[in-house]
C-alpha cells in the first residue's frame, strides 16, 4: 500500500483521539464512581439499576411509614399501660373499701375520682397535635364530660366524640398495618363482655346488664339494673366507658352504695381484661412493624449490593486502565513527534 503524508497524519490523529476519548471516559468513571455513565453504555444494567433503585426507594418509604406508625402505636401502648395500671388501682380500691368509716370512704372515693381523671387524660392523649384515640377524627378530643339529666347519679358522664376509623398505613407492597386504636376499642366495654343473665350480689340484690351499641359512634352503652332483694324500686344507671365506670364507682364509694360497687366489679374486671388484651395486640403490632423494618432493611442491603455491582466503578481497575491508556498515549505522542517532522527533505542538503 502506498503510504502518503495524509495517511500518516490521519492515523496519528485518530489514534490520539481514541486514546483521549478512552482517557476522558475513565476519568469520568473515576470522578463519578459510576461505571455506567449513560443508559446506552449498558441498557440491561441501567434497567436493573433503575428497578433496584425503585425498590430501595419504596423500602425506605415503607420504613418511614413504619416509623410514623410505630410512634403512634408506642404512644398508644404507653397510654394503655397507664390505663391498665389505673384500672388495677381502682380494683384495689374496691377490695380495700369495705368499711363504713366516712374518712376512709371519702378518701377512697376521691382516689377513684383521681383514677377517673387520669383515665380521662389517657383517653385524650395526643401525638403532636392529633388525638390518638379518636379514630379518624384526630382533631376532636375523643372524650368530653357532659352533664346527665337532673337527678341522675353521678351527675356527669363521659361521651365519645370520635369514630371507629382504622388508620391502615402501608408497610410493604400490598401490606398495611393499623397504626391506631379507636377510643371505643380501648375504653368502651365490648357489648358481649358481660353476662346477659342477672347476677346475684352479696346482699341478695340482682344486677342485670344490657349493652346497646350506638351505630353512629360505635360506643357501647351498658345499662345496669339493680333489683333489690327486698323489693322496691330498681336502681338503673348506665356507663359507656372506663371513665364512666370509675366515676360510678367513685360516687358509689362516696355514698357507700355497696350494690353499685359490687355490680361494677364485673365491668371493671372485664375492662381490665380488654385493655390488657388490647395492649398485647398493640405490642404484637409494634413487633410486626419491627420485623417488617428488619426485613425491609435486609432487602435494601441486598438490593444495594446488587446495585453497587451493576453501577459502581471498580476504582483500582480504572486506575490501572488509566495508567495503561496514559502510557500508550505518551508512547504515541513520542513516536508521532519523531515521525511527523520527518521526510526526505530533511536529508536533502
Partner 1 sequence: MALSGLFEIGKSALIASQTALAVTSNNIANVNTPGYSKESVTLAIASPFSTSAGPVGSGVSASNITRSYDSFTEAQLLNEQQNQSKSASLDQTWGQVEQVLNESQGIGLSSPLSDFFNAWNDVATSPDSPAARTTLLQKANTLVQTASTIQSSIVDTVNNANTTIRSDVSQINSLATDIASLNQQIVKEEAGSSGTQANDLLDQRDAKLTALAKLVDFTSYQDQNGSLTVVVGERNLVSGVQTNPMSTGSDTNGNTTVILDNTDITSKIQGGDIGGLIQSGNDIQTKTLAGLNLLLATVVQEVNSLHTQGYGLDGSTGNNFFTPLTVPTVNNSATATITQPQVTGLAALTSNEYTINFNAAGTTYSVSDQTGALVVPPTAYTSGNPITFNGLSFTITGAVTNTDSFTIGSPLPTAISSFGVAITDPNKVAAASTAAGVPGDNGTASQIAQLTNATISTLGNDTFSGYYSGVVSTVGSIKQSTADGLTFDNNLLSQIQARRDSASGVSLDEEATNLINFQRSYEAGAKVITVADELVQTVISLIGGSVTG
Binding site for partner 1 (CB under 8 A): 1-7, 9-11, 14, 32, 34, 36-41, 43, 46-47, 49-51, 53-54, 57-58, 60-62, 64-65, 68-69, 128-130, 134-139, 163, 165, 167-170, 173-174, 176, 179-180, 311, 343-345, 348
Distinct helix (H) and strand (E) counts, the chain: 7, 10
**CB nearer partner 1, residue 21 or residue 92:** 21
Length of the chain, in residues: 349
- Minimum Å gap between C-beta 134 and partner 1 is 7
DSSP E strands, 81-205: 126-127, 130-131, 143-147, 156-160, 168-172, 175-178, 199-200
Residue among 127, 154, 157 at smallest CA distance from 139: 127
**CB nearer partner 1, residue 169 or residue 278:** 169
**CB nearer partner 1, residue 106 or residue 144:** 144
Q: Is the bond preceding residue 154 a cis peptide, omega within 30 degrees?
A: yes
**CB nearer partner 1, residue 86 or residue 182:** 182
Instruction: Find cell 478512552 and name the residue.
Output: 22
- Minimum Å gap between C-beta 247 and partner 1 is 27
**CB nearer partner 1, residue 45 or residue 198:** 45
**CB nearer partner 1, residue 5 or residue 197:** 5
- Which residues, 6 or more positions from 84, have their beta carbon under 8 angstroms from its beta carbon? 272, 275, 276, 279
- Minimum Å gap between C-beta 188 and partner 1 is 18
Q: Phi/psi of residue 268, each to 5°?
A: -65, -45
Residue among 224, 188, 177, 166 at smallest CA distance from 65: 177
- Minimum Å gap between C-beta 180 and partner 1 is 7
**CB nearer partner 1, residue 53 or residue 89:** 53
Instruction: Give the integer Cα–Cα distance in Å for 112 and 117.
Output: 9
Q: Work out the number of other CB atoms within 10 angstroms of the CB of residue 314.
A: 12
- Minimum Å gap between C-beta 198 and partner 1 is 40
Residue 267 cell numbers, joined:
365491668
- Minimum Å gap between C-beta 67 and partner 1 is 8
- Minimum Å gap between C-beta 103 and partner 1 is 46
Amino acid at each position: 500500500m502506498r503510504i502518503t503524508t495524509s495517511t500518516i497524519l490521519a492515523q496519528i490523529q485518530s489514534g490520539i483521539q481514541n486514546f483521549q476519548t478512552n482517557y476522558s471516559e475513565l476519568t469520568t468513571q473515576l470522578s463519578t464512581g459510576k461505571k455506567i455513565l449513560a443508559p446506552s453504555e449498558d441498557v440491561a444494567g441501567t434497567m436493573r439499576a433503575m428497578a433496584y433503585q425503585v425498590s430501595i426507594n419504596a423500602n425506605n418509604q415503607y420504613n418511614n411509614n413504619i416509623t410514623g406508625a410505630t410512634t403512634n402505636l408506642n404512644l398508644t401502648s404507653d397510654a394503655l399501660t397507664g390505663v391498665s395500671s389505673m384500672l388495677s388501682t381502682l380494683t384495689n380500691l374496691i377490695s380495700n373499701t369495705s368499711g363504713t368509716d366516712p374518712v376512709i370512704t371519702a378518701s377512697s372515693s376521691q382516689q377513684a375520682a383521681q383514677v377517673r381523671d387520669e383515665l380521662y387524660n389517657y383517653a385524650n392523649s395526643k401525638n403532636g397535635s392529633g388525638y390518638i384515640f379518636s379514630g379518624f377524627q384526630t382533631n376532636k378530643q375523643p372524650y368530653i364530660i357532659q352533664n346527665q339529666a337532673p337527678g341522675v347519679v353521678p351527675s356527669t358522664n363521659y361521651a365519645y366524640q370520635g369514630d371507629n376509623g382504622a388508620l391502615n398505613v402501608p408497610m410493604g407492597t400490598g401490606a398495611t398495618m393499623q397504626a391506631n386504636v379507636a377510643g371505643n376499642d380501648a375504653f368502651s366495654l365490648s357489648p358481649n363482655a358481660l353476662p346477659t343473665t342477672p347476677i346475684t350480689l352479696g346482699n341478695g340484690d340482682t344486677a342485670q346488664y344490657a349493652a346497646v351499641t350506638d351505630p353512629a359512634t360505635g360506643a357501647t352503652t351498658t345499662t345496669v339494673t339493680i333489683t333489690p332483694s327486698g323489693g322496691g324500686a330498681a336502681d338503673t344507671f348506665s356507663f359507656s366507658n372506663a371513665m364512666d365506670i370509675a366515676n360510678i364507682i367513685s360516687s358509689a364509694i362516696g355514698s357507700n352504695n355497696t350494690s353499685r360497687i359490687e355490680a361494677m366489679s364485673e365491668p371493671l374486671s372485664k375492662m381490665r381484661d380488654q385493655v390488657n388484651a388490647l395492649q398485647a395486640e398493640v405490642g404484637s403490632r409494634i413487633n410486626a412493624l419491627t420485623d417488617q423494618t428488619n426485613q425491609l432493611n435486609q432487602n435494601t442491603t441486598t438490593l444495594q449490593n446488587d446495585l453497587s455491582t451493576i453501577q459502581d466503578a471498580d476504582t483500582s481497575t480504572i486506575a490501572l486502565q488509566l495508567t495503561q491508556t496514559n502510557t500508550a498515549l505518551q508512547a504515541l505522542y513520542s513516536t508521532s513527534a519523531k515521525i511527523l517532522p520527518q521526510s526526505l527533505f530533511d536529508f536533502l542538503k
